[in-house]
């Protein structure tokens, strides 16, 4: 995970933001005398929110766990993505 201080971030904002997006790597910004913050891409944020949403449903988690058990037991169904 990359890190930067606030001053360096201000001076090189485009470069840091491009790195966050292009490398899908969060950036920790240290702020002197304040709490640090984390910068993530919108795609990463959306993935976190989707995971949070799925995990909030006990029924969905049950279905996901059962699907994983079935896949590990070789009971999965192969789907050709080109046929979807």
Any domain includes 83 = no
Q: Tell me the average pLDDT of the chain.
A: 93
Secondary structure of residue 11 in the 3-state scheme: helix
Distance CA 71, CA 13 (A): 44
Residues, the chain: 84
Same domain, 11 and 33: yes
pLDDT at 1: 83
pTM of the model: 0.69
Number of domains in the chain: 2
**76: confidence class by pLDDT, cuts 50, 70, 90:** confident
Domain region containing 36:
2-40
Residue 65 near residue 71 (C-beta atoms within 8 A): no
Distance CA 21, CA 24 (A): 5
Q: Which two tokens stand for residue 35?
A: 């709490």
Strand partners, 39: 27
Any domain includes 9 = yes
Counting residues of the chain whose pLDDT is more than 70, the rounded percentage is 100
Give the pLDDT confidence of 8-63 residue by residue, as tens digits.
Answer: 999 999 999 999 999 999 999 999 999 999 999 999 999 999 999 999 999 999 99
Domain of 27, CATH number, reads: 3.40.1620.10
What letter would DSSP give residue 34?
A: S
Same domain, 36 and 52: no
């Amino acid at each position: 995970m990359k890190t930067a201080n606030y001053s360096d971030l201000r001076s090189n904002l485009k470069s840091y933001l491009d790195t966050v997006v292009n490398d899908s790597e969060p950036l920790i910004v240290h702020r002197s005398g304040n709490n640090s913050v984390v910068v993530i891409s919108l795609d990463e944020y959306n993935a976190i929110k989707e995971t949070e949403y799925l995990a909030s449903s006990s029924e969905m988690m049950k279905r996901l766990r059962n699907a994983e058990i079935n896949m590990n037991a070789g009971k999965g169904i192969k789907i050709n993505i080109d046929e979807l």
